[in-house]
Structure formats: structure tokens, C-alpha cells
Structure 1
Amino acid sequence: MPKEYSNLLNLAHTPITAAIDEHELAVAITSPPFIPLASALNLRDIGSLERSTVRPALCYRSGTLHKMKPDDLAFLRDVCQIHTIFDLRVEKERLRDPSPEVTGVTTVWVPPEVPPQQIDPADFVANDGLDGFMKIYGDVLRVQGAIFKLVFEFIRDNPRRPFLFHCTAGKDRTGVLAALLFNLTDCPVHVIAEDYMLTRLGTERDRELLIKNLKAWLGENAYDQPGVLQLGSVNMKTMEEFNKSLNLQYGDGKRNGARGWLQGELDFSPEEVDQIVKNISVEIIPKALVEIPSSKLDFEF
């Protein structure tokens, strides 16, 4: 493992209650797999992750885009060639923070067919929060089926056409979809978990805003309530456990969970899933991502 990538992962283990050094953060989020656009939130290419099995410069994940500046949005369109964005948020989130309108870019959204369950911090008290996360990530599969199906249909029908998917912070709903993409391409589980961990770095510049939203939901003493710290955490064990659960429920116990879910829950045929896998699987291990102009590397903290 390259030293730079190892340093990235070590920094990602910083507790959510602690601020990350600004210089260290700037170095981290201007390094692959991050796309270093100053107004972006948690934006990265899952194919440029070290040892990723997903094709590079194809599948991009992020948090909400509503704060992105026009030049950065144009960069996504013109340099990254992203012309399709899948919004995984619910309607009230979209009304609060509308998706930006960009010429030549289509934002795809459909309302969930079923409402999501209410999140209860108490579910995260025991077992390092794993029980709570398995509950809400299972709910993501249940609630997001319609929009996830559109994503996989897009991949099936548009080989090598880049796209971006996002929720609000780019952690849970986005993390589940990223995990499905990785699982489909038989990615090692520790690599999937590393991708998940990087959200700790990707959201750091908006950490105060996320804390503010948390306090608006649970009150000023939010962090004193049982389970809240675990709920806000980004733990590799969480994604490892989700992949284990996915493979046990829909696969052969060790792999093929995403394939089984696509066929059993989204009604894709085996041949369609084969095409999806072919379209997103890496051919060679990438050494670099899209070249970023040096002017994009000037961050303001």
C-alpha cells in the first residue's frame, strides 16, 4: 500500500468529535480518490480508490451539490464528462437544498415507493452501532429500490458513460449504492470498507454544519444522548458487516450478494447483471484519475 494512501486511511480514523488539522486535510482531499473541487462535498471517484475493481473515471459519489459553484459544476460536466446525476435524497431534502441546474446535465430523481423508517439513536448504543446501521442500511435497500434500479439500468445501457450519485452527506445512502457497485465487481471487502471510511475526510469541511443539523434534530445536548456518537461515526466494521449481511441474504454466503439482490429485488435477468458487471469492471488497475488543473487545488479553509 502506498504511503500516501496509508496516511489517508489513518487520518480517516479521526473521531467525529475531533477536528482534523487543516493542512493534513487539504493534502488528503486533494489526493485520489477525491476530486479536489473546493465547493464540493465528499466528492470522489470510486474507481480511483487503491485496489478498486470498478472502472476509473466512471462512477462518482458525493454529498449534496447545492453549494457547488458554477465553475466546479462545469468541471464535472466538461472534464469528468458527467452528464447524468442520480439524487438519492427524499423530497423534503430536495426542497430545502434544490439540485443545481446545469446546462447539459440531467438530474434523475424518483420518490421512494415506501417511506423510510425513523432513525432512533438508541438503536446505535450497543455493538458499536452495528445493529443500528444494519437496520438503516437494510431500510435503504427497501426504500431506494426505484432509484437504484434506474442507476443500474443506466449502467446496463450506457457503457463507459460517467455518472454521479449523491445523498446529503454522501455517507449512508450513497455508501450503500457504492457498496453494491463494489460487491458486483467482486471487490475485496476491506477495500469497500476503506471507501466508506473516506467519508470522514470528505465531510470534514462541513463538519460544523452537520453538527448544527444534528443539534437541530436532537437538541443542543445531542452528543450527550446515547447512541448519537455511534450514529455519526464512520467505521470500517459497519461496511464490512453490511457486505457480510448482503452476501448471506442474497448471495452464496461469501460473495454475489449484490447480484442476488439485483435479480431478486429489482428483477434484472442474469444476462442483464452480467452486462452491468462488464460495463463497470476495471480492465487494468489505474495509476491516476482525471488530471486536475492546478488552479483547482487552491482550497480555502
Structure 2
Amino acid sequence: MRITTSFRVIGLAVLAAAAVPLAANALQQQAPAAQGENARLLPLQGGQNFRDLGGYRTRTGRTVRWGMLYRSGSMHFLTRADFDYLAKRGIRTVCDFRSTSERSTEPVAWPAGKAPRVLADDYVMDTAALAPRPDRPPSAAEAKATMTALYPQLLKQFNGQYRRMFGELLAGRAPLAFNCTAGKDRTGVAAALILTALDVPRETVIQDYLLTNRYFDPRKAVQADDQASQAWRKLPMDVLKAYMAADRAYIEAVFAVMDRHRGGAAGYLNDALGLSPAKLAQLRKAYTR
């Protein structure tokens, strides 16, 4: 089932627990057998940066449950075997942060009877401010400055979708996955918000964000034959990396917004996302142990 609402986003944009199924209950009781951070990456043939947020320790000594919260890039290339694997994990809800055109270009063909509840908004993404100019390619420093300025805007532009994501979690409609195209920018901010709400230490949240650099090849984001992708491919690798990679400064720009808010991160979560102390306690009870 797909649920969409329509609106238009203007400005910089991105490139690139009740009633839980038995299968998910079993998965979230134990960590994967694999060791290290590679345990987070799901073994999917067509997966794009698809990983589990479980296992992180909170500041109070609790642990984020495995098999309940997933972050991902585009799911367009998932195979039938991948869909079978995800069905066994019991994913009930998918929050797809991609634009209307992104979803049209790379649709996700969930098999009949195995489709989760998909939440997506119809909106137009303006990438003009990010697109490289053929007459004056940006330097790596300029590209990094552009991306650092972008991230605080994501908090505003996708506030409605982030609020709805938390609404799904509070309603117990998990396991839940959320994604964009690369699984880096819109998804990275969403993951940071979730982990912060669950009281995971900030440095741990930042390290989770940086894992994208291990699991996402920026060259894959510009493989299309369209004119825009050709322009991106002409950029020096250090400039392309500044746009496409996960950089600590980008996610720290999000935390800077939260820190400047009255009441800090807790005040931001309450005022911007409607997460009162009672709702935060509910989330932590449901998604940590």
C-alpha cells in the first residue's frame, strides 16, 4: 500500500511497539552473528546502503533493538530474493523520502502480498543550486560549503515527513525502514533524529552517519546517461566526493541547529517534531532494551 501527499519543495535539495510480526520479534532479540559494523549491512543483492540501526548503546546503558529500524538508499534494484529476505524481517512500514521524479525513475516493485505500507510525498526537487556549472566548476572547498549549508535546510524541508516517520514509530508500525536515493542526506538526517531521540550518544550517531562512506560508492550516483550525470562525471574526484560522500561537517551542521534551539536537542525534538518527554520515553521503551 502506498500513501502519498503532495507539496512542492523550493531551495537546495539532495543528490543522489505493538503489533510487531513474530519474525521481527525473533530478529530484534539478538544481534547478527557477523562481527563489527559490517553486521549492520543487510546481505541484499540489489541493496543500496541498506543497514540496521540496532545494537547502539544509549547514554543510560540500554541498546537499540536489532531488526526494528532500517536505513537505506534506493530500493529500486532489490531482487526477488531480496524482497523475500526483507519479508522475513517483517518490515511493515517504509518512509520513502525521494521526490516524485526519483520514485518515477527508480520505482520499487514490491511483490504482491509482501509490500509494506509505503509513505511518500509528491514534491518537486530543485537541484539547480547543486548542479556544477560547466563554465566554472566548483572547488572541493566550495562543494563542501554548499553541502554544509544544505543539511540544516533538510530539517525544515522534510520536517513533515520526519514527523510522520516518528508518528509511525509511536504507533508501533515497525519494523520500519526509511530511505532516499543514496541513503546519505535525507536518510542520514532521519537516522540522526531517531538515534538522538533514543538517547544514543552524539559521537555514535555521527559514526553511524559516516558508515555511508563504507557502503556507498559516489560514482554509482552519476552513472546515468542524462546530461546532468555527464556533467557530474566531469568533476574532479575530490569535488565529486565532497558532494557525494558523508562528511562529518554536514551532520554536525544539523546538530548545530539543534544545539542552538531553546532547550538544546531535547527542546528541538519537542518543538520541531512534537516529541514530548512522554513520547521520547515511549520510543525508548519500544525501540531500546
Please, which of 166, 176, 184 is the counterpart of residue 197 of structure 2?
A: 184
Counterpart of 1:31?
Answer: 38
Please, which of 61, 64, 70 is the counterpart of residue 74 of structure 2?
A: 64
In structure 2, what residue type is equivalent to 1:65? Answer: M
Asked whether 1:261 is paired with 2:268, we answer yes
How much has 1:165 moved relative to structure 2?
Answer: 0.5
Counterpart of 2:156?
Answer: 142
Counterpart of 1:286?
Answer: none
Please, which of 263, 269, 282 is the counterpart of residue 275 of structure 1?
A: 282
Please, which of 105, 108, 113 is the counterpart of residue 96 of structure 1?
A: 105
SS in structure 1 of the partner of residue 162 of structure 2: helix
TM-score where L is the length of structure 1: 0.70
Please, which of 255, 261, 279 is the counterpart of residue 243 of structure 1?
A: 255
SS in structure 1 of the partner of residue 38 of structure 2: coil
Q: Write the mapping of 1:1-301 to structure 2, written as runs, cut at 5 A.
A: 31-48=38-55, 53-78=63-88, 80-102=89-111, 103-104=113-114, 105-112=116-123, 118-120=128-130, 125=139, 131-158=145-172, 161-204=174-217, 207-213=218-224, 216-217=227-228, 219=231, 222-224=234-236, 227-249=239-261, 251-252=263-264, 257=265, 259-280=266-287, 282-283=288-289
- Against the structure 1 CA distance between its residues 247 and 188, is the aligned structure 2 distance closer, same or farther, given a 3 Å change threshold? same
Query: Is the contact made by 1:63 and 1:168 (CA closer than 8 Å) also made in structure 2?
Result: yes
Query: Is the contact made by 2:212 and 2:245 (CA closer than 8 Å) also made in structure 1?
Result: no
Query: Is the contact made by 1:223 and 1:229 (CA closer than 8 Å) also made in structure 2?
Result: no
Counterpart of 1:5?
Answer: none
* Aligned mates of 2:107, 2:203 — CA distance in 1: 35
Q: Give the percent of matched residue pairs that are identical in Structure 1 and Structure 2.
A: 24
**Greater shift after overlay, 223-232 or 61-70?**
223-232
**Greater shift after overlay, 87-96 or 181-190?**
181-190
More helix by share: 1
SS in structure 1 of the partner of residue 122 of structure 2: coil
- Against the structure 1 CA distance between its residues 190 and 29, is the aligned structure 2 distance closer, same or farther, given a 3 Å change threshold? closer
Query: Is the contact made by 1:192 and 1:239 (CA closer than 8 Å) also made in structure 2?
Result: no
**Greater shift after overlay, 86-95 or 40-49?**
40-49
Query: Is the contact made by 1:130 and 1:241 (CA closer than 8 Å) also made in structure 2?
Result: no
RMSD of equivalent CA atoms: 3.3
Which of structure 1's runs of 4+ aligned residues deviate more than 3 A?
27-30, 48-53, 114-119, 121-131, 213-216, 224-229, 266-270
Counterpart of 1:15?
Answer: none
In structure 2, what residue type is equivalent to 1:98? Answer: P
How much has 1:197 moved relative to structure 2?
Answer: 1.4
* Aligned mates of 1:214, 1:230 — CA distance in 2: 22
- Against the structure 1 CA distance between its residues 48 and 32, is the aligned structure 2 distance closer, same or farther, given a 3 Å change threshold? farther
* Aligned mates of 2:226, 2:209 — CA distance in 1: 24
